[in-house]
Chain A
Amino acid sequence: MTGISDTTDEAQIIASILAGNTHLFHDLIRPHERSVYAMALSLLHNEADAEDVAQEAFLKAFRNLRNFRGESKFSTWLISITLNEARGRLRSKKNIKLESLDEPREGVGTVTPALLRDWREIPSEALERKEIRQMLQQAITDLPLIYREVFLLRDVEDLSVNQSAEALGISVASVKVRLHRARMMLQKKLVPQLKKANPKRRWFSWS
């Protein structure tokens, strides 16, 4: 995500675009392409739809740039546009099973984590393997919608708790609760899978 100096740059670029240098919009959004796509993909479960929604979100951002107020970060604003687009697409797709925005029943109470004493180290080289990347992607997209959204914003897009609450239109307390459950659900699901998928000598250095 962008740092403070980038934010200043962004404000200048936005001012310049609004003043008529519309071609600068290309540069403005380049750093955000992946996060917008990731957000759309994890909500829609389908690459073609995700790409289409991502394009629509960027077009909408361009058309509505004048309405962007510097109070929130450009990335947060962009993400809320993407969320709205993706939610709209989900609603309009009759063939997709509707996902509830209500609290799922199983989400109430403590999520029991996976208890594996001998699994602690995850070498980042693991991500060189496509199956591991897919495993992570799948686990995220399998989260119930309300947890997936929070997890994506906070832990994938690196938004703050406050920014996530703003983008989702929910309270900071709800963000924290949902985030915790999302993380625990992922831990529970992924730890046994990752353990199985990885060679012992590399992964069990703590035991």
Chain B
Amino acid sequence: MVIECKHVWDHISGYLDGTLSPEVREQVQKHLEHCEICSAILDSTRNILILTADERVFELPLGFSQRLHARLEAEIRGIAPAPPDKE
């Protein structure tokens, strides 16, 4: 069965996660082989996922760990937690 681009777009996420049924996967695969537009959409989506998963996207603010562990230490020792040391 031949499927259209629009139909393929609905399966991009499932295709990337490998959760499509074998039949659908094969239809998508066949389509991708000859459709440059959908292949580019798939590649760019995959690449965006690689970029957004990178640790550097959400970096901890300077001193985050120190402030966190100081507050935890106070809690652990049974002292009332101090207000966060920031701003």
Contact = CB atoms under 8 A, between A and B. Distances in A.
A20 to B, nearest CB: 11
A29 to B, nearest CB: 8
Interface string A46-76: 0110011011001100110000000000000
B65 to A, nearest CB: 6
A114 B43 CA distance: 12
A184 B58 contact: no
Contacts of A120: 40, 43-44, 47
A45 interface: no
Interface in B23-72: 36-37, 40-41, 43-45, 47-61, 64-65, 67-69, 71-72
Contact of A184 (B12, B64, B67): B12
Contacts of B86: 48, 51
Interface string A139-172: 0100000000001000110100100000000000
Contact of A51 (B12, B36, B58, B67): B67
Given A52-B84, A156-B58, A183-B12, A117 B48 contact: no
A127 interface: yes
A115 B58 CA distance: 28
Given A34-B58, A158-B53, A48 B87 contact: yes
A27 to B, nearest CB: 10
7 contacts: A30-B65, A48-B87, A59-B71, A133-B56, A183-B16, A184-B9, A187-B48
Interface of B: 6, 9-10, 12-14, 16-17, 19, 36-37, 40-41, 43-45, 47-61, 64-65, 67-69, 71-73, 75-76, 81, 84, 86-87
A91 B80 CA distance: 26
Interface of B is mostly: helix
Given A54-B68, A124-B51, 16 more contacts: A23-B76, A33-B68, A38-B57, A51-B64, A62-B76, A63-B75, A113-B45, A156-B53, A180-B12, A183-B12, A183-B16, A183-B45, A183-B49, A184-B13, A184-B45, A187-B41
Interface residues of A, number: 59
Contacts of A137: 57-58
Contacts of A87: none
Contacts of A122: 44, 47-48, 50-51
Given A110-B6, A136-B57, A155 B52 contact: yes
A156 B55 CA distance: 8
Nearest to A113: B41
A55 B73 CA distance: 12
Contacts of A111: 9
B57 A191 contact: no
